[in-house]
Amino acid sequence: MAAAPDARERARTGFGGRVGADLPVRALAGLAMMAVALGATFAGAAWFVALWLAAAIAIHWEWQRMIDKERLALRVAIGVFALVVTALLMLEGRVAPALALLAVAAAAVGRCAGAAR
């Protein structure tokens, strides 16, 4: 039977090694993000869409960088263009064209990434 970790080991690994030592920082960051999201929600539709557009662009950029460096600028440009136009369409309540645009853009970005991706 394994011995319980001593105080120094718990301090080094955080909460006995089961949970990361950065849990309090992550929890505070989560609360801050929640406050921003709620603020955008109460500020109105345009602010809400702008917040999630910024998040979607950041996620798209990171995802494309993880895939490959080849044709990165083109893939990012297609995705950002589609996300911006989609956000504008959603603000007007035009859901079907927005979803169709995202589908076409996703296919185009995938095609630009190449068959191996």
Residue 68: the pLDDT is 84
Domain holding 3, by residue range, is 1-43
Residue 21: the pLDDT is 83
Name the domain count of the chain: 2
Shared domain for 24 and 70, answered yes or no, is no
Shared domain for 78 and 95, answered yes or no, is yes
User: What pLDDT digit, counting tens, does each position of 70-104 carry?
Assistant: 899 999 999 999 999 999 999 999 999 999 999 99
pTM for this model (two decimals): 0.71
Shared domain for 51 and 78, answered yes or no, is yes
Shared domain for 30 and 53, answered yes or no, is no
Shared domain for 35 and 89, answered yes or no, is no
Compute the distance between CA of residue 17 and CA of residue 19 in angstroms, rounded to an integer: 6
Shared domain for 20 and 52, answered yes or no, is no
Shared domain for 86 and 69, answered yes or no, is yes
User: What pLDDT digit, counting tens, does each position of 4-59 carry?
Assistant: 556 666 555 555 566 788 899 999 999 999 999 999 999 999 999 999 999 999 99
